[in-house]
Amino acid sequence: MLRFVLRRLLEFVPVFFIIVTLTFFLIRLAPGGPFAAERAVPEEVLKRLNEYYNLDAPLYVQYFDYLRDLAHGDLGPSFKKPTLTVSEWIALRFPVSLELGLYALGVALLIGLAAGFLAALRPNTATDHVPMSLAMAGICIPNFVLGPLLVLVFALWLEWFPVAGWDLQQDKVLPSITLGAAYAAYVARLSRAGMLEMLAQDFVRTARAKGVSETGVVLRHALWGGMQPVVTFLGPAAAGLLTGSFVVETIFQVPGLGREFIQAAFNRDYTMIMGTVLFYAGLILLFNLIVDIVQAWLDPRVRLS
Amino acid sequence: MKPIRIGILTVVSTAAFTGCLFREDRAAIGIREGVLHMGNGAEPQALDPHLVSGFTEHKILTSLFEGLATLDGTTLEPKPAAAESWTVSDDGKVYRFTIRENAKWSNGDPVTAHDYVYAWQRNLSPGLGSEYAYMLHCIWNAKVFNEGRLTDFGQVGARALDERTLEVTLENPTPYFPAMQIHFSFFPVHRANIERFGRIDERGTKWTQAGNMVSNGPFLLTKWWPNRIITVAKNPYYWDANAVRLKEINFYPIDNLQTEELTFRAGGLHVTDAVRKSRLPKFRATMPQYLRMHPFLGSYFYRFNCARAPFTDVRVRRAFAMSIDRELITKNLLHGAYEPTACFTPPNTAGYTCTASIPYDVAAAKRLLAEAGFPDGRGLPPVELLFNTSEEHKLIAEAVQQMWKKNLNASVTLVNQDWKVYLDALTNMDYYVARSSWIGDYYDPNSFLDCFLTGGGNNRTGFSDARYDELIGRAAKTPEQGERYRLFQEAERILLDQAPIAPIYLYRRVYLRVPELKGWDENLLGYVIYKNVYFETCGAK
């Protein structure tokens, strides 16, 4: 196990290096620099700004300087929001995205697993068709439609929750449901499929033949195996929930990292783009590693090798 | 249990658990307690008056800092602010400001003439790279200092004669110099506060954080949670603190117009930053008491690339400009949000109203095009119309494309680009026709007309006219307002005759505001004097 983890961690190094290099050069290929503005910035000022942020140096020098700073854990200053450094911005904004992501994951698992398992236990009945139809709708309705709809019903008509914000506990309900809904739908369909597969296995039939109760069969024999597809999905899903919350963050004014990431790209805020890309890349790699470990723990047939 | 019942139970129990079934309306509480909640568009880049460049920041900074002069909210005439009075020399080049004896920083220190000299030195320091330092270039030697060609700030025309007297020597008579003092680039900073956190020309130090910032305006910064809220509270040391009636202002950086509108309707805001134009008919019908619309110092227009055929020919440019039905665009497409215009400078800009125009005249446009060698559009090369990503720009571009096809038989392709790519194309003049806009920096026609000087950074059309340059240059040296405006009239006539641009409409500020909010001036600059703002407490929203 330890050797596996260490080897995977070592594999991260070249992957990271490739991501740094590609991102660094790709963003500089995009037309328009960080200081381009509708009001022309005077030549002298532009020169000073480029000097200040080392943008006047040859590209390869900038690249190696960036690598050197990165090795020291320095992601540099933000070009467009100079009040904080990139690391400080990430430290400020990521906990919000993390919190939103965790709540959304909770929503996805709670609703998804319950609906999926219920459907699997009574296949081809109303208990199966209704949640699965809802799941299909959940997958199909984009969050930029679902979010305003939820706001309209629960914030404006019923006045149960605030329209937007991220200060009070009740602020967090609608964004979490909006972000988690589509994932809940996937989880429901995957857990239903996984459970159905498990319930058709020989060892389940054996357990039933031995007289184990239906609850015992489900909880002791089928549940863990039935969750396998969900666990495989959870790695990318968790990363997706944490990184892909731009729309939800915008609709509900959530001060998370997703918006920072997208705005940095629009603003050509090079250091901020680099910082957020690397941070997200690290997260995705980490989640994939965790999924591999959890899968091995859940299913003895999977070996870490 | 049926899944639907489970669903209903889950929602209700979640709502009950979070204790939000009986929520109070934030706007109503604000009205009672004198706390203003306002939408402010995007998150500010910074709160350093010498590092920012937008209207978003301007709205916050005018609550925190005060320049030497302010403007009357209605007439926009300069009025004393941190300076209690000023005099100007006969040649209009030397201003002497007397700082108020009781003007104080938010830490209780007196505001002195030295603070203004220090602030302007900081803004002009080449190392700081202030994008708006050029606003100060009207001061003697400021430009050469800013460009690093002069290192001794003592030779720049800003000096403190004593603690309370500031003498400013200008390059040219600049009658609008006192009016410019409402711009953040002229705001003072507290020297010890700046240097506690870094060098005079260091970007992005921590002095603008809540708890660190020392300011001299009617409010002081108490909270800055990025992308959440910026709170300013009444400054007890402000010289006119008795006139300040609000206890607090909360600025919310809500950049999604739909979210902002919904927050307003749910009682979360007293004022929005803007509204979606498509919602105007609905607002007019159902909530007219909240809808506010008033002219704003900005123009929306199309640029022609004068260096690229067929727009090298002034007749083609005029033909294209004269075949845009602006009335139709503003009335039908934009729901009357904006005012159609046939000239560039908004009317009544500091008393100046342009008398020239580019009319909508299809017959004349066709004649011009024929004279240029393209009768009925025959032989006219295909052209591209560039705009940056926005539903509104797209809508207008599609309408103009149709108008040019119908009126001139011109084949126009629409090109939609991301903001930075679009700016790059504009700067490198890699376009045929491009949508553009201009918001005045200060309350004077010069803020618009000096854009089109030969080789100017904001020209971006390749337009060059020696007479035009001469007129703008002469206006800059003329102290007498009537003569200046006569020169501007002639210059704008040349601009419209030569048509490097096709004016389309004038901006308006369109937003929602609760009727209980009083003292909120509706002027051309969108300039709100927060110390005059208050709530009429009879009745809540």
Greater confidence, B478 or A134?
B478
What is the full per-residue pLDDT of chain B (541 aa) written as tens digits?
444 555 555 554 544 444 444 456 899 999 999 999 999 998 898 999 999 988 899 999 999 999 999 999 999 999 999 999 999 999 999 999 999 999 999 999 999 999 999 999 999 999 999 989 999 999 999 999 999 999 999 999 999 999 999 999 999 999 999 999 999 999 999 999 999 999 999 998 999 999 999 999 999 999 999 889 999 999 999 999 999 999 999 999 998 899 999 999 999 999 999 999 989 999 999 999 999 999 999 999 999 999 999 999 999 999 999 999 999 999 999 999 999 999 999 999 999 999 999 999 999 999 999 999 999 999 999 999 999 999 999 999 999 999 999 999 999 999 999 998 999 999 999 999 999 999 998 999 999 999 999 998 899 999 999 999 999 999 999 989 999 999 999 999 999 999 999 999 999 999 999 999 999 999 999 899 999 999 987 443 3
Please state, in angstroms and rounded to a whole number, the distance separating the CA atoms of residues B66 and A29.
42
A93·B268 Cβ contact <8 A: no
Asked if B537 is an interface residue toward chain A (Cβ–Cβ < 8 A), one would say: no
Scanning B36-65 for CB atoms below 8 A from A yields 43, 45-48, 51, 53
Looking at residue B5, its pLDDT comes to 53
Q: Do A131 and B3 touch (CB under 8 A)?
A: yes
Cα B79 from chain centroid (whole Å): 20
The larger pLDDT score, comparing residue B25 to residue A138, is at B25
**B419 vs chain A: nearest CA distance in angstroms?**
7
Long-range contacts of A195-204 (CB under 8 A, 24+ apart): A195/A116, A195/A117, A195/A120, A195/A121, A195/A222, A195/A223, A195/A226, A196/A120, A196/A123, A197/A225, A197/A226, A198/A222, A198/A223, A198/A225, A198/A226, A199/A120, A199/A226, A201/A225
Residue in chain B nearest A177 by alpha carbon: B11
Q: What rounded mean pLDDT belongs to chain A? A: 87
Whole-number pLDDT of residue B327: 96
Region A215-229: what's the mean pLDDT?
Answer: 82
pTM: 0.88
Q: Tell me what pLDDT residue B160 has.
A: 97
Residue B434: its pLDDT value, please?
97
The domain segmentation of chain A, as residue ranges, is 1-305
Q: Indicate the Cα dihedral angle B204, B207, B209, B214, nearest 10°.
A: -140
Position B19 scores a pLDDT of 43
Alpha-carbon distance B505 to A273, whole Å?
36
Interchain contact, B227 vs A255, CB within 8 Å: yes
How many residue pairs bridge chain A and chain B with CB atoms within 8 Å of each other? 166
CA distance B363 to chain A (A): 35
- State how far residue A79 is from chain B, nearest Cα, in angstroms: 10
What CATH superfamily classification does A1-305 receive?
MetI-like (1.10.3720.10)
Are A267 and B420 in contact (CB < 8 Å)? yes
DSSP sequence for B219-263: EEEEEEETTTEEEEEE-TTSTTGGG---SEEEEE----HHHHHHH
- Give A155's contacts in chain B (Cβ within 8 Å): 262, 266
pLDDT of residue B539: 40
B127–A52 CB contact, under 8 Å:
yes
pLDDT for res A217: 82
Q: What angle do CA B418, B420, B425 make, to 5 degrees?
A: 90
| Structure tokens given for B270 | 């007293």
CA B77 to chain CA centroid, Å, is 18
As a whole number, mean pLDDT of residues A114-140 equals 83
